[in-house]
Amino acid sequence: MRFEQPSLRSALAERVIGEGVVLLALLAWWALARGLPEFILPGPVAVARRLVELLATPEFLWHVFTSTWRVLVSIAAALLIGGGLAFLAHGVPWLEGVIDERIKPVLNSFPSIGWAILAAIWFEPGDFGVIFVEVAILIPFCLINIAEGLRNIDRELMEMGRSFTRRRARILWRLTLPLLVPYGLTATRIAYGIAWKIALVAELLGAPSGIGYLMLKAQIAADSTTFLATCFAIVLMFVVGERLVIVPLERRFARR
Amino acid sequence: MVETAITLAPPSRPGGLVARKLAAHLFTLLFLAAWEAASFVAPSYLLPSPVQVAQRLWIFVTSWRDLGHLGSSLFHVAAAIAISFAIGSLLALIPYYVPVLRLAIERRIGPFLNSFSAIGWTLLSIMWFGVSPLTVVFAISAVLVPFALVNMSAGLANLDPETIEMAESFTRRRARMFLLVIVPSLYPFIFATLRIMFGVAWKVTLTAELFGGNTGLGYMINLARQEFDTATIFAAIVLIIGFVHGMDRYVLAPLQASVSRHYAL
């Protein structure tokens, strides 16, 4: 591809068309919704109004908060377990086959709904079941990324580290972990995206609270307006979390 | 945003191969033994024994009704991959040919599709199309489109400018250049994309079928769940793991490797 210096005018045109597409989509939605009953497709205005209403109710915010902390705890736990497995495979050679050939493929192709149903059978509905499912879904993504990072560690650097100290903990803390940070961040980013997209399944089947539970309730009551508003609330949550947490983290560690 | 970067196969380390194989097999045996032991303690609706699951699996592969469910799941996956691959590639190609639309597609449409939850699409399509195969295929396709879009955009961004320039000196016909130069240089990305989509599709398919399908493995799991027939759930999960992993390992990976070698980047 040839990169031409983008002139101000073409950049402006790009911007205008970009926002125009959004506007056009909203208009098309509005036009389509006018001819349809509300339980099939409510108009954008109704959904936006409901979204604002929902964001002003403490109960809804509490559900959002519940889902959010479950997602965050799950990501942390999945990073720890996935990272631990990757370290084991890296450090203990005879375990490599066990982890790469057995644990990874099984976790990787385990259907997410399978975890959700098993958790619904095994545990009481509640936080633990949901977090169990989300962690189980997220582990393979963390494992794969951190293993990739460990594989790409510069051998020369490790050798240099060993020539300075023989204490393994020191090498791990000062060398291995900082080198792994970019991969850990990628893992976090992927896990974050997947968690909001797929892990909410757990709340549909086995939770008396959270956004998934709200969505199911709205869907059963054929309350499309609330349902769509909840969907957009998730999009909003996702974008806000990414802008406020993930992007600054990446920027901070990319500079080093 | 979900990143779906393409990673290359790791270089295998020789030495201690036998020991590692042995450890892996030992682990499998140990796992099965632990499962068997746990199933003695737990009631069978909580945890069926491996033998029960194996028996159920045998019934599964010999019953036409059960195989029919597997077949319709396969159909859902294949149809959704085809549809979303076509839409995603088209979306990726638009900014390549019409650069002024880049922001609209890569910064507006892409992120939106990427952050809309799979459950949202599933429940929404149930409201629109009712419980039917169309619902399932629609929901899976909607989830897969961003994966195709991101990967194919990466492929287009990695096209070799020298090759394109050479092609431009041979022909000015866009269609000819597209078919003879651009598409072949995209082959490795196309295969990698299809492989990623195959993995994700299976994760989503069961969810979509469970909520909005009247056929397929997800539907079967849902029935089994209502009857507390945990052995069937386990059998279906084992079947899916085997199938997905087998396809990926023995069909898609060699195919991708041979394509990458052929059109070496």
The pLDDT tens digits for A184-239 are 888 888 888 888 877 778 888 877 888 888 888 888 888 888 888 988 888 888 88
Please name the residues in contact with A94: beta carbons below 8 A apart, sequence gap of 6 or more. B16, B19, B20, B23
Domain-located, residue A3: no
The separation between CA B28 and the C-alpha centre of its own chain, rounded to angstroms, equals: 25
**Chain A environment of B27 (Cβ under 8 Å):** 98, 102
State the smallest CA–CA distance between residue B187 and chain A in angstroms. Answer: 17
For the cut 80, the answer to whether the pLDDT of residue A250 exceeds it is no
Domain-located, residue B170: yes
pLDDT given for residue B3 in this prediction: 41
* Interface A:B, Cβ pairs < 8 A: 171
Domain-located, residue B166: yes
The pLDDT tens digits for A71-124 are 999 999 999 999 999 988 888 878 888 888 888 888 888 888 888 888 888 888
Rg (Cα) of chain B, in Å, rounded? 22
Domain-located, residue A38: no
Domain-located, residue B88: yes
What CATH number is attached to the domain comprising A82? 1.10.3720.10
pLDDT given for residue A174 in this prediction: 82
Please name the residues in contact with A169: beta carbons below 8 A apart, sequence gap of 6 or more. none
Q: How many independent structural domains does chain A possess?
A: 1
Q: Which of A24, A99, A117 to mutate to test the interface with B (most CBs of B within 10 A)?
A: A117
Domain-located, residue A10: no
Domain limits at B157? Answer: 49-262
Q: How many independent structural domains does chain B possess?
A: 1
CB distance from B106 to chain A under 8 Å? Answer: no
Domain-located, residue A12: no
Domain-located, residue A18: no
CB atoms within 10 A of CB A132: 20
CB atoms within 10 A of CB B152: 22
Domain limits at A99? Answer: 46-255
Domain-located, residue A130: yes
Cα separation of A117 and A201, whole Å? 10
Please name the residues in contact with B177: beta carbons below 8 A apart, sequence gap of 6 or more. B164, B167, B168, B171
Which residue of chain A has the CA closest to B157? A1
Which of B21, B114, B207 is the closest to A201 by Cβ? B207
**Chain B environment of A28 (Cβ under 8 Å):** none
What CATH number is attached to the domain comprising B245? 1.10.3720.10
Domain-located, residue B162: yes
pLDDT tens for chain B, 265 residues long, are 344 444 444 444 555 677 778 888 888 899 999 998 888 888 888 888 898 899 999 998 888 988 999 999 999 999 999 999 999 999 999 988 888 888 888 888 888 888 888 888 888 888 888 888 899 999 999 989 988 888 888 888 888 888 888 888 888 888 888 888 888 888 888 888 888 888 888 888 888 898 888 888 989 988 998 888 889 999 999 998 988 888 888 888 888 788 777 765 5
pLDDT given for residue A254 in this prediction: 65
Partner-chain contact B1 A193, CB within 8 Å = yes
pLDDT given for residue A76 in this prediction: 93
State the smallest CA–CA distance between residue B84 and chain A in angstroms. Answer: 17
Domain-located, residue B120: yes
**Is-contact A187 A164, C-beta < 8 A?**
no
Domain-located, residue B39: no
Partner-chain contact B119 A204, CB within 8 Å = yes
pLDDT given for residue A85 in this prediction: 92
Domain-located, residue A61: yes
Q: How far is CA B242 from CA A102, A139, B247, B256, in A?
A: 12, 19, 8, 20
**Is-contact A96 A89, C-beta < 8 A?**
yes
Domain-located, residue B40: no
**Chain B environment of A144 (Cβ under 8 Å):** 7
B254, burial (CB in 10 Å: exposed 0-12, middle 13-18, buried 19+): exposed
Short-list A175, A180, A111, A103, CA closest to A145: A180
Partner-chain contact B27 A120, CB within 8 Å = no
The pLDDT tens digits for B23-64 are 888 888 999 999 988 888 888 888 888 988 999 999 988 889
pLDDT given for residue A62 in this prediction: 92
Domain-located, residue A222: yes
Partner-chain contact B127 A39, CB within 8 Å = yes
This model of the complex carries an ipTM of: 0.79
